[in-house]
């Protein structure tokens, strides 16, 4: 993804999309491959050791990586970021902002789940995701998020006997 | 025990009040979640899987069968009324059914989809009941070499068939195989790709990957595309039913769709996409209203919907008899079996008679329930479509995280879920299909086990895969599946070049 937001030409953007994924596959192949070599390919007491299959997967990853790079360079593979975007810069910025909101929601969920409990963590994620999709009615979304989280908490606690983290909200009850 | 007696026994299991209740819960949940736009059957099952893990296996699988079929019914409703196919096998239904809905024939489209699914589901379940024991007999003779070759076929098929490009299909498959490597090697105890994290020693669960790729990835994608505004919902008028003429035009496509769909699903090359397109093409050819195709022909909904349902039932044949999932949904079902320590395969039919035949019988039960649930109550389900997108996707993320957290009560699982979600977002943007990754993740470790077992038996002689006739045939099929599209493209390019030269 290009961070500059300037209108790069379609060809440049292609370099940043498919090519990056192809290179990512090569990196992954190297990582899996070195892991396999570290384990060793020579058989121990079993005929085929635990390194052989990872080595085969690494070879596959590398082949796929090369094929993806070729396709990206030849322009036969267009990712979402490479499309000659008919949307103006403002829409693209909005898309990135929305993405950021969802990300904030996910991180908040992780941070709050154990600390503040399931209900509050879910409500925080709910509000952020709704925000990302263009609903900025903060009060209503908070109430809905708390209600949804609370309902799930109760169903799981009493019907399924699964204890979700209660957090400090529940200490009041 | 012959098939008929086994099936009767299955009904005695499925028709107990508590199991009927689980079936009803399953079909209701399945329809309700399946109807939500953007949630296809595989995500429905993945999200609901964690809620079942407290039940006894038979009850859980009866509920699962309900969810499986319910999700299909629900998804076709969404396809018809909103033109948002939740899965690629509903693309045709969305195409033709949405046109019908626009022409004010939405009720008829819903009716022919529901009744067609019922007819196809019922007939295909019969096919499953009588065909599965035959495959089981056959499968008992399989050795590790045959199983490994069979998995190669499945790998080749899902990479070549699902999605728009073989390279990207393979990219997805190998990503799944890599994820499958993570954890402790079952034979030697060697830790692999764990990055030194003790939490990764147990590997990455299929459910976590499926929910991450489908739910989290899709939510990120839709947010990025600013696709918040839902497609317009076409209201249905009157009762969901058909006129006499529509019945006349529907019943043959239902039967033809079933006949096309079931074998495709039952073959280990599987998938429900090809039969739906095939059925569409056949109906278009045979219809006396060919001109209506593309503008809302009822045959174009009836046939593909039947083919879809027959194929997804057929997929249960390789899943139950060989432990071989050939669709994302089936891969998640396999994960569900593994959650209970059950390994689908020929032995499952001998060891868990109650479960297998109870499951098959409850497919009939679920189909009847779904027909009753969908025809009179369609209007009720349609209201779910009116949930605004911001609240819908916020709710999906909450449920996805909840489901994964409640698996083991581990925050680490949720972190993995989100990381995989980001990968899913990249894949979605790059037009890389997701199903091959899920199948690679679940089948990869098994393929490795079979490979090593086969080579242990043959004392390390790799030719074992080519000297056993069945295994050699399967390997040849797998290779052909990968090479034929390439050869075809090469031929086309040469032909085009020749034509260009001649012109």
pLDDT by residue (tens digit) across B357-377?
A: 988 999 999 999 999 888 888
Does A156 have pLDDT greater than 90?
no
Low-confidence residues of chain B: pLDDT under 70: 1, 53, 86, 162-163, 227-233, 236-239, 269-270
Residues in chain A: 173
Band (pLDDT 50/70/90 cuts) for residue A29 is very high
Residues of B in contact with A14 (CB under 8 A): none
Q: Give me the residue label for tokens 């992954």.
A: A28
* H helical segments located in B140-243: 144-161, 166-181, 206-211, 217-224
Q: Is the sign of the CA dihedral A69, A71, A75, A81 positive or negative?
A: negative
Instruction: Please name the residues between 53 and 72 in chain A that touch chain B, using a CB distance below 8 Å.
Output: 53-54, 57, 60-61, 64, 67-68, 71
Q: Please check whether residue A126 touches B, CB under 8 A.
A: yes
Q: Do B397 and A134 touch (CB under 8 A)?
A: no
pLDDT of the residue at A47: 63
Asked if B311 contacts B261 with a C-beta cutoff of 8 angstroms, the reply is yes
- Alpha carbon distance B49, B315 (integer Å): 19
ipTM above 0.95, yes or no: no
Chain B residue with Cα closest to A91: B226
Which of B29, B224, B436 to mutate: most A Cβ within 10 Å? B224
Q: Which of B193, B389, B401 sits opposite A133 (nearest CB)?
A: B389
Segment B272-325, tens digit of pLDDT: 778 888 898 899 888 888 888 888 889 999 999 999 999 989 999 999 999 888
pLDDT of the residue at B340: 84
Band (pLDDT 50/70/90 cuts) for residue A42 is low
Q: Is A116 left (phi over 0), alpha (psi -120 to 50) or beta?
A: alpha
Chain A residue with Cα closest to B445: A53
**The token pair that represents B334 in the structure block:** 């396999």
| Per-residue buried b or exposed e for B230-268, using 16+ beta carbons within 10 Å of the residue's own CB | beebbebeeebebeeebbebbbebbbbbbbbbbebbbbb
Strands B183-184 and B191-192 come out as antiparallel
- Cα dihedral B489/B159/B214/A85 (nearest 10): -20
Asked if B147 contacts B168 with a C-beta cutoff of 8 angstroms, the reply is no
Beta bridge partners of B183: B192
pLDDT of the residue at A2: 38
Band (pLDDT 50/70/90 cuts) for residue A132 is very high
Q: In angstroms, what separates the C-alpha of A95 from chain B's closest C-alpha?
A: 4
pLDDT of the residue at A86: 58
Instruction: Please name the residues between 2 and 21 in chain A that touch chain B, using a CB distance below 8 Å.
Output: 17-18, 21
A10-16 long-range contacts (CB < 8 A, ≥24 apart) are A10/A82, A10/A83, A10/A84, A11/A75, A13/A81, A13/A82, A14/A72, A14/A75, A14/A78, A14/A82, A15/A72, A16/A81, A16/A82
Asked if B478 contacts B153 with a C-beta cutoff of 8 angstroms, the reply is yes
Of B386, B389, B392, the closest CA to residue B81 belongs to: B386
pLDDT of the residue at B339: 82
Q: Is the sign of the CA dihedral B112, B358, B355, B360 positive or negative?
A: negative
Query: To 10 degrees, what angle do helices B411-429 and B389-408 make?
Result: 140
Band (pLDDT 50/70/90 cuts) for residue A100 is very high
pLDDT of the residue at B93: 84
Chain B residue with Cα closest to A112: B411
What global pTM score does this model have? 0.88
**The token pair that represents B210 in the structure block:** 């499926």
CA A36 vs CA A57, B290, B451, B486: distances in Å: 10, 57, 17, 30
Q: In angstroms, what separates the C-alpha of A12 from chain B's closest C-alpha?
A: 16
- Alpha carbon distance B175, B436 (integer Å): 9
pLDDT of the residue at B269: 66
């Amino acid at each position: 993804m290009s961070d500059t937001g300037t209108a790069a030409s379609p060809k440049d953007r292609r370099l940043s999309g498919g090519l990056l994924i192809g290179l990512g596959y090569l990196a992954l192949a190297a990582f899996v491959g070195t892991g396999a070599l570290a384990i060793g390919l020579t058989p121990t007491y079993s005929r085929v050791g635990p390194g052989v299959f990872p080595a085969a997967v690494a070879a596959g990853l590398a082949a796929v990586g090369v094929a993806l790079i070729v396709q990206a360079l030849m322009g036969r593979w267009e990712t979402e970021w490479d499309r000659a975007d008919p949307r103006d810069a403002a829409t693209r910025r909005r898309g990135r902002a929305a993405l950021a909101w969802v990300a904030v929601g996910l991180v908040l969920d992780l941070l709050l789940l154990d600390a503040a409990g399931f209900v509050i963590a879910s409500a925080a994620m709910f509000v952020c995701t709704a925000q990302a999709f263009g609903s900025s009615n903060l009060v209503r979304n908070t109430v809905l998020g708390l209600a949804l989280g609370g309902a799930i908490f109760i169903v799981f606690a009493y019907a399924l006997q699964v204890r979700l983290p209660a957090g400090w909200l529940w200490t009041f009850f | 025990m012959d098939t008929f007696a086994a099936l009767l026994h299955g009904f005695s299991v499925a028709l107990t009040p508590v199991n009927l209740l689980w079936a009803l819960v399953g079909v209701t949940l399945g329809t309700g979640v399946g109807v939500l736009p953007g949630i296809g059957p595989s995500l429905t099952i993945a999200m609901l899987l964690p809620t079942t893990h407290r039940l006894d296996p038979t009850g859980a699988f009866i509920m699962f069968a309900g969810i499986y079929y319910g999700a299909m019914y629900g998804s076709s409703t969404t396809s018809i009324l909103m033109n948002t196919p939740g899965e690629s096998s509903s693309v045709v239904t969305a195409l033709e059914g949405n046109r019908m809905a626009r022409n004010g024939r939405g009720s008829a489209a819903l009716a022919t989809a529901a009744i067609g699914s019922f007819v196809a589901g019922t007939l295909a379940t019969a096919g499953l009941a009588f065909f599965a024991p035959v495959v089981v007999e056959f499968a008992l003779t399989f050795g590790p070499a045959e199983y490994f070759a069979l998995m190669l076929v499945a790998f080749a098929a899902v990479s070549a068939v699902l999605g728009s490009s073989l390279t990207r299909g393979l990219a997805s498959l190998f990503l799944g195989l890599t994820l499958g490597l993570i954890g402790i090697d079952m034979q030697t105890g060697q830790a692999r790709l764990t990055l030194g994290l003790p939490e990764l020693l147990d590997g990455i669960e299929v459910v976590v990957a499926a929910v991450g790729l489908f739910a989290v990835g899709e939510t990120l994608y839709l947010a990025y595309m600013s696709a918040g505004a839902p497609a317009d919902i076409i209201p249905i008028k009157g009762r969901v039913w058909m006129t006499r003429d529509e019945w006349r035009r529907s019943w043959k496509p239902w039967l033809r769709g079933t006949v096309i769909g079931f074998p495709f699903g039952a073959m280990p090359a599987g998938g429900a996409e090809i039969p739906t397109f095939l059925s569409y093409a056949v109906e278009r050819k045979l219809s006396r209203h060919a001109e209506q195709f593309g503008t809302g022909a009822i045959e174009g909904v009836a046939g593909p919907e039947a083919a879809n349902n027959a194929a997804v039932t057929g997929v249960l044949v390789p899943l139950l008899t060989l432990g071989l999932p050939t669709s994302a949904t089936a891969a998640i079902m396999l994960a569900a079996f593994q959650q209970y320590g059950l390994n689908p395969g020929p032995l499952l039919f001998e060891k868990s008679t109650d479960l297998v035949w109870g499951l098959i019988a409850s497919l009939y039960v679920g189909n009847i329930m779904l027909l009753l649930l969908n025809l009179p109550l369609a209007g009720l389900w349609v209201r779910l479509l009116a949930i605004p997108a911001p609240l819908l996707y916020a709710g999906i993320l909450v449920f996805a995280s909840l489901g994964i957290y409640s698996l083991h009560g581990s925050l680490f699982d949720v972190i993995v879920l989100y990381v995989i979600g980001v990968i899913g977002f990249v894949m979605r943007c790059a037009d890389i299909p997701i199903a091959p990754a899920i199948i690679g993740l679940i089948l990869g470790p098994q393929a490795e086990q079979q490979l090593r077992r086969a080579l242990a038996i043959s004392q390390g002689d790799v030719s074992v895969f080519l000297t056993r006739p069945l295994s050699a045939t399967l390997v040849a099929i797998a290779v052909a599946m990968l090479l034929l599209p390439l050869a075809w493209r090469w031929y086309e390019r040469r032909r085009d070049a020749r034509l260009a030269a001649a012109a």
